[in-house]
Amino acid sequence: MFYIFCIANLNLCHCAHSAVNVVALGGVAEASSQFSVNHGPSLAIDGKADGSCFSSLTHSNPWWRLDMQGPYDIFSIEVFRRRDCCDHSLNGAEIRIGNSLENNGNNNPRCAVITVTSDATVTFNCNHMQGRYVNIINPGVGKDLQMCEVKVYTTTQLTGANVAPRGIATLSSAPASVENSQDMAIDEHPGPMDALETCASVALQDNPWWQLDLRSIYRITAVSILSSGDCCSEQLNGAEVRIGLSKDKYNYQCGIMEGRFVHVYLPGLQKTLTVCEVEVYGTLLENVALRGLAFHSSSSLENSVASKVIDGNRSSTCIVANEQPGPWVTVDLLVPYSVTAVQLAYSADCCTVMMSV
């Protein structure tokens, strides 16, 4: 299968990060094998770069994996080799980063291929790849893997749970033969590599899209998209992930984002979009308006009470102001807040023109 894991922003913005942390020491290490009890995988993250090393047995495709206990935005990885011997055990090894445990994590996207030099340490820039797992695998028959320390430098922890299954998914169109195709992308069952029938698929059309309504506003740190491995991974090339408060696909923000709607949008003529699983990592934003007091300019309707705009009911309790110059609604939050987002809900059966500016 093919993964895209990205900071929750593919909107032509570049966001700089500041602090760099080393997270490997707090993780859990595993390996395909270990040479002895004195050469276990945890020795590669014990903070000792010399004399305390991991060694695998000799077999096909030996690997070592670090579970950082959550997804991170990874800046670079530093690998310390043995000084006394065994250069061959790292030469040609691959560093892979991602969130999948398919094939023990060895199918995740590749950061680098290690080339051993005279230096005891090799450093690789992973260009802000995101993931929970860091794998080092030495592909081939009759291989071993030995290293003394691995350091993972990160800039951002991608916080929050996968909130996608709580939402409502829609498609621009769907094959008539597949019922509820849109929901297959948030069923938490990506399925086997050859199971295209477990994916959400949009029929051939111009500018196809898949949309997720999270039903509340979330602070979103990352979006993970999985496509089918048996075909169609190229269909995601050029796809845009957009996040915002509007159902419209043109939402623009930068950095850690707040939003209710997640769009996967593939611009172009006669395109097909196939998405097998979408994970959205985020935390629910609190609606502080519920704690406040509401006022409006005026109304002649007896039941048009200002407090209805902050009662938490989106559908059946609304206010209507008299026709007048510049009608307004004010919400007093009672204490100062740093406000990240404001969302308005209006009556769906009428009156949308009243909200136009």
Same domain, 174 and 61: no
119 burial class (0-12, 13-18, 19+ CB within 10 angstroms)?
Answer: exposed
91 burial class (0-12, 13-18, 19+ CB within 10 angstroms)?
Answer: middle
* 4 in a structural domain: no
User: Structure pTM?
Assistant: 0.53
Give the span between the Cα atoms of 167 and 176, in whole angstroms: 23
93 burial class (0-12, 13-18, 19+ CB within 10 angstroms)?
Answer: buried
Give the span between the Cα atoms of 121 and 228, in whole angstroms: 37
Residue (of 337, 285, 330) closest to 307 by Cα position: 330
Same domain, 149 and 21: yes
pLDDT digits (tens, 9 = 90+) for 59-103: 999 999 999 888 888 888 999 988 778 777 899 999 999 988 889
Same domain, 254 and 315: no
Q: Which residue has the tokens 């999985």?
A: 226
**pLDDT at 73 (0 to 100):** 80
Among 238, 261, 284, which residue terminates a domain? 284
SS3 60: coil
Same domain, 82 and 108: yes
**pLDDT at 199 (0 to 100):** 81
Same domain, 66 and 143: yes
Same domain, 302 and 354: yes
Which regions of the chain are under pLDDT 50? 1-19, 192-194, 252-254
Q: What is the CATH number of the domain that holds 187?
A: 2.60.120.260
Q: Which domain holds residue 120?
A: 14-157
Beta pairing, strands 146-147 & 149-157: unpaired
Same domain, 170 and 150: no
Among 105, 123, 157, which residue terminates a domain? 157
**pLDDT at 189 (0 to 100):** 66
Q: Which residue has the tokens 């395909």?
A: 32
Number of domains in the chain: 3
**pLDDT at 313 (0 to 100):** 78
